[in-house]
Structure 1
Amino acid sequence: MMGARRIAGRILGLLPSISSQTYVKTSLFITIILLSISVRLNNLPLGYYLGEFDPWWHYRCAEYIMNNGIEGFLQWVDTMSWYPYGRNAAASTPIGLPLAAVALHSFLNVIGVSISLMDVTVLFPPFVSVIAVIAVFFIGRELSGSDWVGLLAMLFLATNGSFIDRSHLGFFKHECLGVPLIALSSYFYFKSVKARSIYEVYAYSLLSGLVLGYLCITWTAYVYMVGLIALFSTLLAPFVDRETINRLMVAYSITIGIAILIAIQLPRPGESAVYSVYYIAVLVGFIAIIAMNLLKRVERSLTLPLLIGFSALVLSTMILLINTNMFSSLMGKLLAVINPAARFEQPIVESVAEHKMGTWYYLFSDHGFLLILFAIGIVSSLLYGDTISRVFVISAGLSSLYFANMMVRIGLVFSPFSSLIAALGCSSLINYSYPIFSESVRLGRKVASTRRIGLWSLLLSTILVLYMGFHGINTGIGVYGFSRTGREGLSHMEGEGAASLPTSSLAIQYSFPDWIETVTWLRYCTPPGSVILSWWDYGYWITALGERPTLIDNATINSTQVATVGRILMSNDTIAIPLLKKYNISYIVIFSTLPGYWSVGLQGDESKWLWMAAIGYDLRPVNGSYDWIYRLDYTKGGYADINLTSKMQDVTLFSGYDLRYYPKNAAPLPRGDSVLTRLMVNAYLQALKEIITPRYSAYNIALNPLPKGIEISTSPFYELVFLSPSNGFVSVYKVNYNMSYEEETISLFSPEGIVSKNASSFYNMPLVSGVDMILEIEKLAMDEGEAQVDNASRILRANVSMVVKVNGEINKTYPVSLG
């Protein structure tokens, strides 16, 4: 018996021992990883779908690569998008994300895990995001020498609202892979600079270059990471010794060289990685490192003259290159980031929510009091720590904070660095406030005297850490009972519909299957090849799920074609029909929440038409705002129809509804003769008759009589062929070109016409085959009905005679108004 105990004791002695602290740290490490994944699966009850819009395009790219290989993708022109010209996929889409999904899919199937490509793309974001969470742990430990700082950084990033928003289930978009690559590249480059052995420098630089290179072919925000490496290296060079500068030169050369070599192999980014204005930062970094290396070799008395000479040479070279237009390809984008006000004049840019300028309000909403810890982390890094860590924290923290306020989408790069630096700040705060567990407080390399402040400081710090995690989760997914009110106060998943397709992109976490019904109908009930016109928001859904070609989609790569669609929807038949015929449009799809605006608000085309008008007619903001477009009635220079809007609100369906949430004319509709208004209002009336009234009548809910007096004809060119049966939010109209106006009903709709652009003497506008419509302007007078908007005249009165010729012979002449 005693022998058995001795043997068992010896066996146990051979097993590795784990301290309680290591056990706790390992448990927390695993727990935070599981937490990171679980909060990103929160939208699963809404449906197992790709989220938002862009992921559907990236899935199509991955599917094409799987079926045709990389070579096939590089030559692919997608004729289903941007009809009739198509879309060059490789030139407009970084290949990194779809290629990673295909590689993962192939690997899983090789090892026996049978899973579809769709499943891989849906599950990809929450699991790949773990890479970023793990990477910040190692960066935090490297900066502070403490595992606890790394664990805090993990917790803050895992629960960061902005990062959750871009890495939840189904969000198969560049950012879900781009942020982990940024975190990994930062870690490897930081390690390469701090390494003492030249072999470690080579190894970490090689890894950093490979990761950065893959980031270049994955996400356009690679320019930030390249700039960060250049900024960090430039700022570090003057403060380190010659040996460190030599390692820095090797690390910088290998990392940037490998990254650019990978980038130029593919059409996106291709040569722009070298010939863009962003490459200037790379050159400045090289010059700074070489200059500092040389300056440390010469006598101190010659340092200033050499520095002045180098500066003059660099400045002269930059001016020469800019004047020769060598760096002109992306100058506009760079200026838009540095000076966001420049984007106000571009309605197609302002119409995309993620391209808008970030604000401190949204920054604080996303990060909350994490910003306070971030500030403490910046200050503590300045006071304590080694030079390399100090420069890294300052350059990464302040640059990412700056870019977070320049553009909403770029603001995501702030998340890993804010979490990391906030962890440093939180650690410093806790150590300084409550050093009761140790005899001294370690801050960087310095040791402070013992202080015993009490349990209140520890309690305060604990509450602060827990609040950071709770705030991030509540911002990202919303916590029941704690969600904020109002659309701007909703969590990211609540406000943007994390699974956009089942919620029909509405900011309500509830199933609205209208778009699923619509794309299904388009796929099975329309002839193959039928060209669909809709606003760009829904293009990817129609193409990927409806399998029908569209004129525009969410890529907005052809601003001229986007403007054409906006002009079609915001014009009357005189302008719209020739354009529809030019592009061979078969169906028009309209998305409008008018049938349920009393419960879900106005979130469809009735709220997006401002941008249709602004882009379609190249309108400019007045006093920094486009509101004049829908605040001014069309008779006064705007594009709204205040009279029609008032009628619509007067005949609200529910009796006793006092319009508290939508006061009179708070959300006006465009003028009544526009294609959008006619199709939208007609679908609204049909939805009231066929869906809304029968539904609520069954529950004995008091209803007003069906509205009268706002009927708007869609004849003869548009026939309603589908109305989504669930709520009537989506309608499909078939365009009929084989129709003509009767003599008695020929009209340009406007009771008093307006001319907003210079008019020539004649307009030839063929509406249908065999019918030519010629408008001859007899007189223009600017003395009546003129409106001043930003000191510019928006109204011209025009007397017009319309001559209708059938088969070349004059049939009849009508006095009409031009509208």
Structure 2
Amino acid sequence: MVTAGLIHYVLNLLHITVHIRDVCVFLAPVFSGLTAISTFLLTRELWNQGAGLLAACFIAIVPGYISRSVAGSFDNEGIAIFALQFTYYLWVSAWGGYVFIINLIPLHVFVLLLMQRYSRRVYIAYSTFYIVGLILSMQIPFVGFQPIRTSEHMAAAGVFALLQAYAFLQYLKDRLTRQEFQTLFFLGVSLAAGVVFLTVIYLTYTGYIAPWSGRFYSLWDTGYAKIHIPIIASVSEHQPTTWVSFFFDLHILVCTFPAGLWFCIKNINDERVFVALYAISAVYFAGVMVRLMLTLTPVVCMLSAVAFSSVFEHYMGDDTKREKPPAEDSSDEDDKRNSGNLYDKAGKVRKHVSEQEKAEEGLGPNVKSIVTMLMLMLLMMFAVHCTWVTSNAYSSPSVVLASYNHDGTRNILDDFREAYYWLRQNTDEHARVMSWWDYGYQIAGMANRTTLVDNNTWNNSHIALVGKAMSSNESAAYQIMRSLDVDYVLIIFGGVIGYSGDDINKFLWMVRIAEGEHPKDIRESDYFTPQGEFRVDKAGSPTLLNCLMYKMSYYRFGEMQLDFRTPPGFDRTRNAEIGNKDIKFKHLEEAFTSEHWLVRIYKVKNLDNREPLDHKLRSVVPKQKYTSKKTAKRKRGHIKNKLVLRKGKKLQKK
């Protein structure tokens, strides 16, 4: 946001009139261009200019990065990968992935020390990086004192202290005997390491240094988040990466990337130690979490470029430049003189010159041409795949969906916008909508209605309360919704069109999050069959078949027959006939269902003995139990009169 605001300010200062919306829309594509430049510079530094050019071309079209750099993708990652690559090129910080940088560079320095590759250049570079980076990062109000008070930064501080001790001992090396230096070195390093370790433990115990975050623990223990913080594990971006995702986002680079790493290790130097550490750590983290594929993509592009560059140099280079032909010896001269002889000195039949040339030219040029053509075909296939993925998967808005028929024609599914427009036009402007947190931003932005939870809700217990309402039976859920003043409930249902990202498929995460806060009322095991299966048909758990989410999803669905091959109530997403077709509501009523049944909205009924209150009255009058309807009506009428008088006074003042 700061970057977009600064660009908008500078452009208007130069009298270039640009709307702030346009700056936000095109921010990520502009920075992706800068990312390509920084990748070129970094790869050129690691290998050569040809590899740098290939790396820039790869990262310009690779799906793993384009997914976060298309127009309209206004998020941290749009700028972060440029900052990450440029930081690695200049050896200074970015988004939440900044933790990756601030630990990878110290790791590089530490490994160089272990490999006895210490030099004054490493000392100056890391000392400058750590001190300047620390001071600059602490100037940002959001960051503040986190660089010296969080566990994620302790490795960088420890390596900085170790480097100072190592440099001091190197300084003393020339002034002491070998025996004295070895004794001092052992004592000095042991003492420094012990003091740093005990200091960190003490400061962490006293609370001055914050402990490791749950997201960090989930990187090392893949089951940690599912058990302790299910809300982190419920996010699709935090799931382990499948092989399909690797191929989808990187294509042929998955295969060529190890070859580039081998080339770097084969010809190792200080810079290539860094890229090897980057590659190994990024591969591990990308395998643990889908989101971190973004940090793997740049190094894959760089090392694949090294591999392609090396192959092209070997098979397309000029042989005469690479090596000169050996000088002719006396035996060759004798052979030339006696060219008329049919036999050589060894007694073998002599070959004619034309036959020798044919033997030399027969296999070599053909192999070069074949390998070069294969490499070019791989690059063309990669370009075609990247173009297809970009146009089909990453260029469509997430609100408007598209499906394809067997004949290739496309259907546009506009259910989300349809439902949000209905909410905006047909509900009170103060209405409160309960939905799962995934849709909070969309409801607030497109329907302009208040939501209970959204993508920025930090209160885990509040999200758990919504999950409990969705997981409970209708009567228990109604009590929760009344306590939260809910007017409408919105759910996503994909059983008609086969949409796999609906709320039934997310339901178990709602149960797990609710169980974490309300273990007495919600238990995950209750929603499985005795065989441990999650089923929506007749064999499903009675608790599941009667919970609010199930009833809202399948209300009236049991009467719908989608085609002649399947019975009524057949769920295309789960490939099963639903088990509860006779669904009736007591406390809710259907308010809206979109064209393809993708979005369903239900209205929460008022109590039988109470008339509906408008939202202004609700905020003024606390919830009370009146002795009679007449008393309640008189009380509300009195407050209505007060509100009318207030409006009248305001109008008179105006």
Q: Using structure 1 for the length normalisation, give the TM-score.
A: 0.61
- Kept after mapping to 2: 8 A contact 1:684/1:728: no
Give the whole-Å Cα distance in 2 for the aligned partners of 1:334 and 1:709: 41
The AA in structure 1 aligned to 2:593 is L
Give the whole-Å Cα distance in 1 for the aligned partners of 2:181 and 2:284: 32
Give the whole-Å Cα distance in 1 for the aligned partners of 2:544 and 2:300: 47
Q: Which residue of 2 aligns with 1:467?
A: 378
Give the whole-Å Cα distance in 2 for the aligned partners of 1:185 and 1:737: 58
Answer yes or no: is 1:432 the counterpart of 2:343. no
Answer yes or no: is 1:542 the counterpart of 2:443. yes
SS at match of 2:497: helix
Q: How far is the alpha carbon of 1:393 from its aligned partner? A: 2.2
SS at match of 2:489: strand
Give the whole-Å Cα distance in 2 for the aligned partners of 1:334 and 1:713: 44
How many aligned residue pairs are there?
556
- Kept after mapping to 2: 8 A contact 1:121/1:172: yes
More helix by share: 2
Q: Which residue of 2 aligns with 1:374?
A: 257
- Structure 2: where are the runs of 5+ without partners? 324-360, 571-577, 611-622, 628-654
Trace 1:353-752 onto structure 2 (pairs within 5 A). 353-359=236-242, 362-384=245-267, 387-436=269-318, 439-440=321-322, 453-464=364-375, 466-468=377-379, 470-471=381-382, 474=385, 476=386, 478=388, 491=389, 494=392, 498-503=396-401, 510-555=411-456, 557-597=458-498, 601-618=499-516, 632-633=528-529, 640-643=535-538, 671-682=544-555, 684=557, 711-724=581-594, 726-739=595-608
Q: How far is the alpha carbon of 1:153 from its aligned partner? A: 0.7
- Report % sequence identity: 23
Give the whole-Å Cα distance in 1 for the aligned partners of 2:161 and 2:22: 48
- Kept after mapping to 1: 8 A contact 2:215/2:232: no
- Kept after mapping to 2: 8 A contact 1:590/1:730: yes
The AA in structure 2 aligned to 1:175 is E
Give the 3 Å change call, closer, same or farther, for CA 362–291 of structure 1 in structure 2.
Answer: farther
Deviations 1:215-248 (A, max 9, x none): 2xxx111110111221222333466777x42x43
Give the whole-Å Cα distance in 2 for the aligned partners of 1:359 and 1:639: 22
Answer yes or no: is 1:173 the counterpart of 2:79. no
Q: How far is the alpha carbon of 1:712 from its aligned partner? A: 4.2
Larger Rg: 2
Give the 3 Å change call, closer, same or farther, for CA 359–248 of structure 1 in structure 2.
Answer: same
Give the whole-Å Cα distance in 1 for the aligned partners of 2:500 and 2:232: 22
SS at match of 1:589: strand
Q: Using structure 2 for the length normalisation, give the TM-score.
A: 0.75
Q: How far is the alpha carbon of 1:506 from its aligned partner? A: 12
The AA in structure 2 aligned to 1:735 is V
Trace 1:72-91 onto structure 2 (pairs within 5 A). none
Give the 3 Å change call, closer, same or farther, for CA 713–629 of structure 1 in structure 2.
Answer: closer
Q: How far is the alpha carbon of 1:710 from its aligned partner? A: 5.3
Give the whole-Å Cα distance in 2 for the aligned partners of 1:230 and 1:670: 52
Give the whole-Å Cα distance in 2 for the aligned partners of 1:103 and 1:399: 34
Q: How far is the alpha carbon of 1:315 from its aligned partner? A: 3.9
Give the 3 Å change call, closer, same or farther, for CA 133–670 of structure 1 in structure 2.
Answer: farther
Deviations 1:279-317 (A, max 9, x none): 112113212322332233315545544443314432442
SS at match of 2:288: coil
SS at match of 1:296: helix
Q: How far is the alpha carbon of 1:679 from its aligned partner? A: 1.6
Give the whole-Å Cα distance in 1 for the aligned partners of 2:532 and 2:254: 45
Give the whole-Å Cα distance in 2 for the aligned partners of 1:142 and 1:272: 32
Give the 3 Å change call, closer, same or farther, for CA 342–314 of structure 1 in structure 2.
Answer: same
SS at match of 2:151: coil
Answer yes or no: is 1:156 the counterpart of 2:58. yes
- Kept after mapping to 2: 8 A contact 1:232/1:395: yes
The AA in structure 1 aligned to 2:239 is K
Deviations 1:11-41 (A, max 9, x none): xxxxxxxxxxxxxxxxxxxxxxxxxxxxxxx
- Kept after mapping to 1: 8 A contact 2:402/2:411: no
SS at match of 2:555: helix
Query: Aligned to 2:131, which of 227, 251, 257?
Result: 257
Deviations 1:575-622 (A, max 9, x none): 21221112111110111122323xxx44311221121222222399xx
- Kept after mapping to 1: 8 A contact 2:432/2:451: yes
Q: How far is the alpha carbon of 1:570 from its aligned partner? A: 1.2
Give the whole-Å Cα distance in 2 for the aligned partners of 1:132 and 1:543: 33
Task: Provide the alpha-carbon RMSD of the alignment.
Answer: 3.9
Q: Which residue of 1 aligns with 2:103?
A: 227
The AA in structure 1 aligned to 2:468 is R
Answer yes or no: is 1:106 the counterpart of 2:4. no
Give the whole-Å Cα distance in 1 for the aligned partners of 2:451 and 2:568: 38
- Kept after mapping to 2: 8 A contact 1:160/1:367: yes
Give the 3 Å change call, closer, same or farther, for CA 525–303 of structure 1 in structure 2.
Answer: farther
Deviations 1:296-350 (A, max 9, x none): 3315545544443314432442244234424333343332222323233243222
Answer yes or no: is 1:182 the counterpart of 2:58. no
Q: How far is the alpha carbon of 1:469 from its aligned partner? A: 6.0
- Structure 1: where are the runs of 5+ without partners? 1-97, 190-208, 442-450, 479-490, 621-625, 646-667, 742-767, 773-819
The AA in structure 1 aligned to 2:75 is K
Deviations 1:611-666 (A, max 9, x none): 1222222399xxxxx99776x33x78877553187xxxxxxxxxxxxxxxxxxxxx
Give the whole-Å Cα distance in 2 for the aligned partners of 1:187 and 1:397: 15
Deviations 1:364-388 (A, max 9, x none): 4433442343222222222326x32
SS at match of 1:588: strand
SS at match of 1:291: helix
Deviations 1:553-584 (A, max 9, x none): 22452221221111101111232122111211
Q: Which residue of 1 aligns with 2:186?
A: 308
Give the whole-Å Cα distance in 2 for the aligned partners of 1:548 and 1:560: 22
- Kept after mapping to 1: 8 A contact 2:28/2:78: yes
Give the whole-Å Cα distance in 2 for the aligned partners of 1:497 and 1:575: 42
The AA in structure 2 aligned to 1:421 is L
The AA in structure 2 aligned to 1:263 is S
- Kept after mapping to 2: 8 A contact 1:159/1:473: no
- Kept after mapping to 1: 8 A contact 2:538/2:579: no
